[in-house]
Amino acid sequence: MASSTTHAPVLKQPVKLACVQLAAGPDKTANLLHAADKVREAASAGAKIVVLPECFNSPYGCDHFPSYAETLLPSPPSRDQSPSFHALSAMARDNGVYLIGGSIPELATTTTTGPGESEVKKTYYNTSLTFSPTGELLTTHRKVHLFDIDIPGKFRFRESDVLSPGNKLTMVDLPEYGRVGIAICYDVRFPELAMIAARKGCFALIYPGAFNMTTGPLHWQLLARARAVDNQVYVALCSPARDMSAGYHAWGHSLVVDPMAQVLVEAEEKEAVVVAELDGNKIEEARKGIPLRDQRRFDVYPDVSQGKVNFEEP
Ligand SMILES: NC(=O)CCC(=O)C(=O)O
């Protein structure tokens, strides 16, 4: 069953990754300017991959999604349609970094024409935009698993009251480094996305997120470490800073975990930029020491990642 296959390195050279745990408020323009300062700070610390939090340009909450939503299509959108698109592109270009631009609420409109009348349908998504160091949009990810939970007496949230889910897995190739998988917050609870991305050669799984004060202490770090140890890859989770005056209290604790599930860096709840160096040798060491890849028993459980999966080949 076990064989000693030779595998190509999945991370071509060491790279510093930064999670910007941003303090955002209700003023979108101020949030974009502040994000630009913090991305500059991350780049000055040597980061070449910079991650922003979920809903980095607004407060997080169903009441806020429609009023902060931006239209991304046709691509590129105009500045009026999407100031965040243009701000993120400039942040990536000005600092020469790959920018996983957290997420923003997206508005997609479709017009249907019937006899004598036309109807405009509005659909909202929670969408992440990734830009290259020259400021080009590389990919978008619409949150696939919407955050609908109800823990009686403790915490209830229903993103699906306002948002619609995306329907594809997202990976992107960073030519100097390798491939990363991108998903958003609640998506981290679904190991299938992570497993497929890892089997398709990703060296890191990156999740802009915003856990809360009920599930954050229990599950945030656990899920990051679980996705890392299952797949022997780096995992980064990037949260907004906690704002006790906001309607939603984010857990914070942005972190980077290595392929042996060690936490390399972790913020507390306040604004912070945390930076970790990702090294391909650490992935190879983890995979050599605990050779899960060669020990898998696809004769017992067929490899779902070889089946039909909704993703665009990067
Ligand atoms: N924004 C989110 O998807 C939050 C997910 C979360 O808090 C969880 O417990 O899962």
pLDDT value of residue 4: 55
* Pocket mutation for ligand 1, best pick of 58, 64, 125, 149 (most atoms within 8 Å of C-beta): 149
Return the C-alpha torsion angle 173, 107, 191, 259, nearest 10.
40
Nearest Cα residue to 11 out of 197, 282, 242 = 282
Residue type, 133: P
- pTM exceeds 0.90: yes
Residue type, 110: T
As given in the structure block, the two tokens for residue 128 are 């992440």
Task: Report whether residue 182 contacts ligand 1, using a CB cutoff of 6 Å.
Answer: no
Low-confidence winner among 91-95, 129-133, 276-280, 303-307 (lowest mean pLDDT): 303-307
Nearest Cα residue to 243 out of 58, 32, 25 = 25
Task: Report whether residue 210 contacts ligand 1, using a CB cutoff of 6 Å.
Answer: yes
pLDDT value of residue 114: 81
As given in the structure block, the two tokens for residue 13 are 């050279």
Which atom belonging to ligand 1 lies closest to the Cα atom of 143? Answer: 3
For residue 275, pLDDT beyond 60 = yes
User: What's the CA gap between 175 and 177, in Å, rounded?
Assistant: 6
User: pLDDT tens, 76-130?
Assistant: 999 999 999 999 999 999 999 999 999 999 999 999 888 888 899 999 999 999 9
Which atom belonging to ligand 1 lies closest to the Cα atom of 184? Answer: 3
Question: Are 255 and 274 spatial neighbours (Cβ–Cβ below 8 Å)?
Answer: yes
Residue type, 28: K
Tell me the CA end-to-end span of the chain in Å, nearest whole number: 31
Please say if 185 is a catalytic residue.
yes
User: What's the CA gap between 294 and 303, in Å, rounded?
Assistant: 13
User: pLDDT tens, 30-74?
Assistant: 999 999 999 999 999 999 999 999 999 999 999 999 999 999 999
Nearest Cα residue to 266 out of 217, 205, 204 = 217
pLDDT value of residue 72: 97
114 C-alpha vs ligand 1 centroid, how far in Å? 40
132 C-alpha vs ligand 1 centroid, how far in Å? 27
Beta-carbon contacts of 152 under 8 Å, excluding residues fewer than 6 positions away, are none
Beta-carbon contacts of 8 under 8 Å, excluding residues fewer than 6 positions away, are none
* Pocket mutation for ligand 1, best pick of 142, 157, 221, 237 (most atoms within 8 Å of C-beta): 157
As given in the structure block, the two tokens for residue 251 are 């857990």
Task: Report whether residue 207 contacts ligand 1, using a CB cutoff of 6 Å.
Answer: no
% the chain with pLDDT above 70 = 98
DSSP 27: -
213 C-alpha vs ligand 1 centroid, how far in Å? 10
pLDDT value of residue 79: 97
Question: Are 295 and 2 spatial neighbours (Cβ–Cβ below 8 Å)?
Answer: yes
pLDDT value of residue 204: 98
User: What's the CA gap between 74 and 57, in Å, rounded?
Assistant: 21
User: pLDDT tens, 169-196?
Assistant: 999 999 999 999 999 999 999 999 999 9
216 C-alpha vs ligand 1 centroid, how far in Å? 8
| Averaged pLDDT of the chain | 96
Task: Report whether residue 269 contacts ligand 1, using a CB cutoff of 6 Å.
Answer: no
CATH tag for 15-112+119-294 (out of 3.40.50.720, 1.10.510.10, 3.40.50.200, 3.60.110.10): 3.60.110.10
pLDDT value of residue 1: 45
| 145 C-beta neighbours (distance < 10 Å), count | 17
pLDDT value of residue 107: 98
What does 155-219 look like in DSSP terms, one character per residue? EEEEGGGTB-----BEEEEETTTEEEEE--GGGGG-HHHHHHHHHTTEEEEEEE----TTTIIII
Query: Collapsing DSSP states into helix, strand and coil, what is residue 312?
Result: coil
| 68 C-beta neighbours (distance < 10 Å), count | 21
User: pLDDT tens, 121-161?
Assistant: 999 999 999 999 999 999 999 999 999 999 999 999 999 99
As given in the structure block, the two tokens for residue 221 are 């770090």
For residue 2, pLDDT beyond 60 = no
Task: Report whether residue 157 contacts ligand 1, using a CB cutoff of 6 Å.
Answer: no
301 C-alpha vs ligand 1 centroid, how far in Å? 30
User: pLDDT tens, 210-250?
Assistant: 999 999 999 999 999 999 999 999 999 999 999 999 999 99
Catalytic option among 16, 54, 70, 202: 54
As given in the structure block, the two tokens for residue 107 are 């508005």
Which atom belonging to ligand 1 lies closest to the Cα atom of 215? Answer: 9
Nearest Cα residue to 184 out of 198, 201, 200, 166 = 166
218 C-alpha vs ligand 1 centroid, how far in Å? 12
pLDDT value of residue 304: 87
pLDDT value of residue 312: 78
